[in-house]
Structure 1
Amino acid sequence: MHAKLQRRQALTDARRSLVLDAARAVFLEAGIEGASVREIARRAGYTPGAIYSYFESKEAIYAALLDESIQRLQSAVADAPVARDGPGQALAARAQAWFDFYAANPRELDLGFYLVQGMRPRGLTSELDHELNDHLYQALRPCEEALQEMGLDADAALRENTALFAHGVGLLLMQHTGRIRMFRQSADALFKAYVAQLVQRVDGGSRQPGLFGGTVQPDSTDT
């Protein structure tokens, strides 16, 4: 009986994966608003009614795709090899992990930032958008925690992490669109330089101001 249930679950998972693969292609081509459950079903080889047995709406399908993407991102950040040289090295490793993830998977960036149809979360409910934003924030939180371990207070660490992510995403967009070539620069090299400067600035002294006026709290050993 147990083996039968396992086979049934495996079949369900395989069918769900097939639906998500088809949906990914449709969303990338048509965006959230232009996509339809009927077209997703056609590409997956199912009827629309069969799709609804797995997902209640096309928005739920899109959310499932993004959630799986963010889970892979979270694993990449968590599994990043971190040297035992302090939180500065941890920050660099975690930041490089999410940058490399999106650099190697540009379609994940497109879906995650709604670039398939403008820059706004069109087609998603506010509840789904909030939930996915929270999952993304949790995936990036190890960088923020490393900044706090380096001595930043919570508000300053949040601002620095926000700026770090914004800087990296900007470079990734320039890389994916080819615009970085007009400057004859490497997005990866520029990101590494930004992170190195961030680590040096934050770790350079407990009394130095953080980005945007945030303050660095004295380390417990600096007495």
Structure 2
Amino acid sequence: MPTDTPQPAFVLIRPQMGENIGAAARAMWNFGLDRMRVTAPRDGWPNERAVAMASGAGRLLDEALIYDSTAEAVGDCTYVYATTARGRDLTKPILTPEAAMADAAARIASGQKVAVLFGPERAGLENEDIVLANATITVPVNPEFASLNLGQCVLLTAYEWRRATQEAVAARTEMAGTEWANGQEVEALARHYEERLDDAGFFFPDHKADSMKLNLRNLWSRMPLTRADAQMLHGILRQMVRWKERG
């Protein structure tokens, strides 16, 4: 059974290759979408190649709704977006995938039923399909090579849906069981290296020693050290000193 998460239906209009249907299913499920509709697939249904390509997302194909026409596929929807890379001489709002999926999220939250149309691989949606849509989605691609593979277009749109509905941390660091080193720990590491390097005669000539020590302290403060890093660097230096003394 499909999940109960409110979401748009992704409608594949007259898809030609089973592999692309499977890729679309996989792309949808990557981002938590599982309402697939398919109209008039060229190679019939079910399609073994679609199943093979879908991999772990085969459930979407099992539960896909099959229609004979675009009108039937969106007949229960209150708002429809049509993806297209070409101007169609039709007066329609034109949105980027980002804006469209943000708009779709708001409409679905208000109780509307939304669908997104994706055209066949050869030439995309026909005007007869697009006139059934309330708005179009156009990706700002290279105008000299605007064609997107069906699976790619579904992936891009599904990603924007996820961004519009799921908060994601833009950047984070996996601490792997440790914590950031605090100021005292960094200071202890800096002092340890300074003392041992001083013993080794590293700070030479004398008139440059203070500047060299200052630069070394600045190096430690610039490094985002964890406690594990500091312990390891202490250990490296201790072992080098022991090795030198044994020699």
Please state which band the TM-score falls in when normalised by the shorter chain. Answer: under 0.3
TM-score by length of 2: 0.22
TM-score by length of 1: 0.24
Structure number with higher strand proportion: 2
Max radius of gyration: which structure? 2
More relative contact order in 1 or in 2 (CA 8 Å, sep 6+)?
A: 2
